[in-house]
Amino acid sequence: QVSETTVDRDIDTSHMQVSKTEVAIDVVNMHKWYGDFHVLRDINLRVMKGERIVIAGPSGSGKSTLIRCINRLEEHQEGQIIVNGTELTADLKRIDEVRREVGMVFQHFNLFPHLTILQNLTLAPIWVRGIPKAEAEATAMHYLERVKIPEQANKFPGQLSGGQQQRVAIARSLCMQPEIMLFDEPTSALDPEMVKEVLEVMISLAEDGMTMICVTHEMGFARQVANRVIFMDQGQIIEENEPEAFFSNPQHERTKLFLSQIL
Ligand code: ADP
Ligand code: MG
């Protein structure tokens, strides 16, 4: 299921500024267990503002668990996770603030089927952030234009294609004006012809300087857009490198094996 979709234009990453001093996410000696199962083992990952990180690795290696910990959808048990300067602890009030700053897009779009696209986009801004309806709708339309489907605003999710629904899910995250976006295999549930339209939206976010962590098997996207590729296996980060070096000169046997499936 690893694939090499490429977009049709050259992507110039030279202007995608990565801060040398501002840390967006810092994961330090982090461990997590599900019951007795040691799912994440001593994870160390520092993400600077403006970085575009791709996380790859076999199924079951802990990729989803790692990014779910960063958004506090899962709790870690040892070590630290610091997001925009706030350490994720059991202090729930601050966790809500952190969640607002970190958008997440899942494999399955998780749109509310009985609400229109516009209602899906304005629900959290109105009820969680207390933004007036008219303003929330204006913001929603702005981001629907951003993902190139403003004409779908009054339809229901079931009337849209999978690619369109995933673009709505991305727009919904953007409506909360996050500083960091986490993507968990956003294209793996899509028919092949819809992968590109979603990758295009992710690329345009990168071009705007969004800090992004993307779990994806789209190695074309990793080559074109990531500034760092991280490879996980069995709950550990076993290799990380710039895409060029990661693909041309993998260091570990398990990375070579993984890449041999696509090259
Ligand atoms: P990946 O995203 O790399 O496929 P996951 O993070 O989903 O990996 O899962 C890592 C491991 O943790 C797998 O062995 C999976 O079965 C296990 N796991 C995931 N979620 C849970 C859970 N809620 N309870 C128990 N085990 C889980
Ligand atoms: Mg996963």
pLDDT tens digits, 51-77: 999 999 999 999 999 999 999 999 999
Residue owning the nearest CA to atom 19 of ligand 1: 65
Closest ligand 1 atom, residue 65 Cα: 6
Distance from Cα 60 to the centre of ligand 1, integer Å = 6
Cα 43 to ligand 2 centroid, rounded to whole Å: 16
Counting from 1 in the atom list of ligand 1, the atom nearest the Cα of 62 is 6
Nearest atom (ligand 1) to Cα of 184 = 2
Report the C-alpha gap between 249 and 243 in whole angstroms: 10
Ligand 1, CB within 6 Å, residue ranges: 34, 37, 39, 57, 59-65
Give the bridge partners for 231, in sequence order: 56, 239
Which SS3 state, helix, strand or coil, does residue 138 take?
helix
Q: What is the pLDDT of residue 43?
A: 98
Below-50 pLDDT ranges, the chain: none
CA of 40 to the centre of ligand 2 (A): 13
Residue-wise pLDDT tens digits, 104-116? 999 998 999 999 9
Kindly give the distance from the C-alpha atom of residue 251 to the centroid of ligand 2, in angstroms, as a whole number: 23
ipTM above 0.95, yes or no: yes
